[in-house]
């Protein structure tokens, strides 16, 4: 058991909430993004989609890396990624840089599944289910909280303030994760399958791009069908190559 398991679980819950907050952060200003970033409406939608794609890729990969490197290192790196992505978006006016910042914020979502498993490990048996449920709930609570908070900040200040807020939260999460969480020795050494991770990422991204851009591209367009079908084929191939004979 950790010396201060309750403190560790509180840190894991707060940090997961901060990571989830980024998912809905720009939705209130989405209609204004084309003018703010000097780009088309279709391109501006990537500011929202990029975080979704980053999170979809990061969540399974972060869990595997935590099994290999330990949970605390992966949590600290995820927190640093949130901080870096927020800073990139906060100081940028260029569309491509803001998208890169949003991708990095999405990658920080890998914090949440690792935090859930860590909370289960650290908690006493009688508190285990409550700790896991509480951290799992931050995914929805953070997304819901981000909407009114972002609307108020963007109205009272400007859109850069949204990312300065998450940069501040990212710094706090990094410090808390580095200082308040225990480091556990790896009990089940394993190897990281980089090719498999790339295949999984390519399949997930293909499907999500097709689904998220279907309205813009047309659901029967070559781009939409190619992305969805291509993603499904990649996942089928990925699964087949990793299924024991």
- What are the Cα distances from residue 218, in Å, to 152, 197, 215? 34, 30, 5
Tokens at 107, concatenated: 């990658």
Closest among 24, 32, 31 to 48, alpha carbons compared:
24
Tokens at 244, concatenated: 């024991």
pLDDT, tens digit, for every residue of 157-171?
889 999 999 999 999
CATH number 1.20.1250.20 is the correct assignment for the domain at 5-192: yes
**Contact status, residue 79 vs residue 114, Cβ threshold 8 Å:** no
For the question of whether the overall pTM of this predicted structure is more than 0.75, the answer is: yes
- Report how far residue 37's alpha carbon sits from residue 96's, in angstroms, rounded to the nearest whole number: 9
Tokens at 223, concatenated: 């781009």
Q: How far apart are the first and last CA of the chain?
A: 39
- Report how far residue 92's alpha carbon sits from residue 164's, in angstroms, rounded to the nearest whole number: 11
Question: For the purposes of burial, counting CB atoms within 10 Å of the CB of 111, is it exposed (0-12), middle (13-18) or buried (19 or more)?
Answer: buried
pLDDT in tens, the chain (245 residues): 455 778 899 999 999 999 999 888 898 898 999 999 988 887 888 898 889 888 888 988 898 888 888 899 999 999 999 999 999 999 999 999 999 999 999 999 999 999 999 998 888 888 888 888 988 888 888 888 888 988 898 888 889 999 999 999 999 999 999 999 988 766 666 677 777 778 877 888 888 888 877 777 888 888 888 988 988 888 888 776 665 44
- Report how far residue 90's alpha carbon sits from residue 223's, in angstroms, rounded to the nearest whole number: 32
Task: Provide the pLDDT for residue 57.
Answer: 86
Tokens at 222, concatenated: 């070559």
Closest among 1, 2, 25, 13 to 173, alpha carbons compared:
13
Closest among 176, 145, 210, 153 to 78, alpha carbons compared:
176
Closest among 126, 125, 135, 149 to 26, alpha carbons compared:
149
Task: Provide the pLDDT for residue 245.
Answer: 42
- Which DSSP state fits 220? T
Query: Which residues make Cβ contacts (< 8 Å) with residue 243, sequence separation at least 6?
Result: none
Question: For the purposes of burial, counting CB atoms within 10 Å of the CB of 133, is it exposed (0-12), middle (13-18) or buried (19 or more)?
Answer: exposed
* DSSP per-residue letters across 132-160: HHHHHHHHHHHHHHHHHHHHHHHHHS-HH
């Amino acid at each position: 058991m950790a010396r201060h398991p309750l403190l560790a679980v509180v840190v894991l819950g707060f940090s997961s909430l901060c990571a989830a907050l980024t998912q809905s952060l720009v939705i209130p200003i989405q209609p204004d993004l084309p003018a703010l970033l000097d780009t088309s409406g279709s391109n501006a939608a990537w500011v929202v989609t990029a975080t979704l794609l980053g999170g979809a890729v990061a969540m399974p990969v972060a869990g595997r890396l935590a099994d290999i490197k330990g949970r605390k290192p992966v949590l600290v790196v995820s927190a640093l990624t949130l901080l870096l992505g927020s800073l990139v978006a906060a100081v940028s006016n260029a569309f491509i840089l803001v998208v890169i910042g949003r991708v990095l914020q999405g990658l920080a979502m890998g914090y949440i599944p690792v935090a859930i498993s860590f909370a289960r490990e650290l908690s006493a048996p009688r508190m285990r289910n409550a700790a896991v449920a509480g951290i799992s709930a931050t995914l929805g609570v953070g997304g819901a909280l981000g909407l009114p908070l972002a609307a108020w900040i963007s109205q009272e200040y400007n859109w850069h303030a949204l990312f300065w807020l998450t940069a501040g939260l990212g710094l706090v999460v990094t410090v808390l994760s580095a200082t308040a969480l225990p480091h556990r020795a790896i009990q089940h050494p394993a190897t990281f399958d980089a090719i498999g991770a790339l295949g999984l990422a390519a399949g997930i991204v293909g499907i999500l791009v097709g689904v998220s851009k279907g309205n813009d591209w047309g659901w029967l367009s070559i781009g939409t069908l190619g992305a969805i079908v291509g993603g499904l084929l990649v996942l089928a191939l990925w699964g087949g190559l990793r299924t024991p004979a």
